[in-house]
Amino acid sequence: MNGNRNKYALVTGASKGLGKALALELALRGVNVLLVALKGEELPELCAYIKNKYRVEADYLEINLKDAFAVHRIADWVKQTDVHILINNAGVGGSKHFELAGFDYLDTMISINIRALSLLTYLLLPNLKRHNKSYILNVASMASFCPIAFKTVYPASKSFVYFFSRCLSEELKNTPVSVSVLHPGPMKTNPEVSKRIESQGHWARLGVQSPEDVADVAICKLFKDKPMIIPGYMNKINWLLMKITPTWIKIPLISRNVKREIVTQLN
């Protein structure tokens, strides 16, 4: 990837989990990285590690994507940098009764999962189009393909990411910009998430992958211009099952597992 020596990838939500794995995978392939995450999540240490281990450039911006002007600050930050890859990974999830979730919880999810992703893409698109070849990777979820009670806004927001990405891919198909959307299944990224996955039962655990495995597949398929990326055989099977299963059957079936998770949390 010597051609990437002076080019950069911008990764949001890059301090941990899948975002960190994506940043490391890009660095492994010789791509310089610009990392965005909340303050206090060890971004300086991660950048120092990447520079030392992979001998690429790495810089960071600590910012909360919920803030209304965060996307403008990011766009200004990278304005003088040759960004040819945008990875919208930052996202917020969780399981709660909708009426008990709280206004701030719901507002944060909508602001980060939908607003920030859309507007950051809008602001950076002119720069991406100036390249001979550039890429956008939006991180959705397997939850994009089915409404799920007790998650409610989360699958709706990830469904938005899926439709937004496919539509944008169609609009940009005669341009240098390739758009891909990633649908990871469950990943044990931290103890809290691991506990949630375990509480949902055997079926939820079948598609579990490591962030590193998902990142490897995602970047490989991204560079092959795949519009939709579903990593792992079990997730592909789940996708097919969700396509053929009537909605009135799959909503209560999947929601039952999530309700079990909430009961476990309360206990």
185 close to 208: Cβ distance less than 8 angstroms: yes
Distance, CA of 227 to CA of 165 (rounded, Å): 8
31 close to 1: Cβ distance less than 8 angstroms: yes
- Asked about 8 being catalytic, the answer comes back as no
Catalytic residue among 8, 54, 135, 154: 154
Beta bridge partners of 187: 209
Q: What is the 3-state secondary structure (H, E, C) of the chain?
A: CHHHCCCEEEEECCCCHHHHHHHHHHHHCCCEEEEEECCCCCHHHHHHHHHHHHCCCEEEEECCCCCCCHHHHHHHHCCCCCEEEEEECCCCCCCCCHHHCCHHHHHHHHHHHHHHHHHHHHHHHHHHCCCCCEEEEEECCHHHHCCCCCCCHHHHHHHHHHHHHHHHHHHCCCCCEEEEEECCCCECCCHHHHHHHHHCCHHHHCCCECHHHHHHHHHHHHCCCCCEECCCHHHHHHHHHHHHCCHHHHHHHHHHHHHHHHHHHHC
> For residue 62, what are the contacts with CB-CB under 8 A and spacing of at least 6?
36, 37, 38, 39, 40, 41, 43
Which sequence positions are flagged as catalytic?
154
